[in-house]
Amino acid sequence: MAYYYSEPSRTFNEYLLIPGYSSAECVPANTSLKTPVAKFRRGEESPLSMNIPLVSAIMQAVSDDTMAIALAKEGGISFVYASQSPERQAAMIRRVKDHKAGFVTSDSNIRPDQTLRDVLALKEKTGHSTVAVTDDGAHDGRLIGIVTGRDYRVTRLDAATPVHAFMTPIEKIVYAPEGTSLREANNIIWDHKLNTLPILSPEGRLVAFVFRKDYTSNKENLLELTDARKRYVVGAGINTRDYRERVPALVDAGVDVLCIDSSEGFSEWQRRTLRYIRDAYGDAVKVGAGNIVDRDGFRFLVEAGADFVKVGIGGGSICITRETKGIGRGQATAVIEVARARDEYFEETGVYVPICSDGGIVHDHHISLALAMGSDFCMLGRYFARFDESPTHRLIVGGAYMKEYWGEGSMRARNWQRYDMGGAENLSFEEGVDSYVPYAGKLHDNLSVSLDKVRSTMCNCGALSLSEFQKKARLTLVSSSSLVEGGPHDVYLKDNAGTPVTLQSR
For strands 355-358 and 308-311, give the pairing: parallel
CB 123 within 8 A of CB 131: yes
Indicate the helix (H) or strand (E) that contains 292.
strand 287-292
CA–CA dist 13, 478 (Å, integer) = 8
Residue at 159: amino acid letter: A
Instruction: Please give the full DSSP string across 32-97, using - where no structure is assigned.
Output: ---EE-S-EETTS--SSEESSSEEE-S-TTT-SHHHHHHHHHHT-EEEE--SS-HHHHHHHHHHHH
Alpha carbon dihedral 226, 230, 235, 236, in 10-degree steps, equals 170
| Burial class, 280, CB count within 10 angstroms (exposed 0-12 / middle 13-18 / buried 19+) | middle
C-alpha angle 221-222-228 in degrees, rounded to nearest 5? 100
Phi-psi region of 371 (alpha: psi -120 to 50; beta: other; left: phi over 0): alpha
Residues 6+ apart with CB under 8 A from 8: 330, 333
Residues marked active site are found at: 319, 418
* CB proximity list for 114: less than 8 A, separation 6 or greater: 137, 162, 163
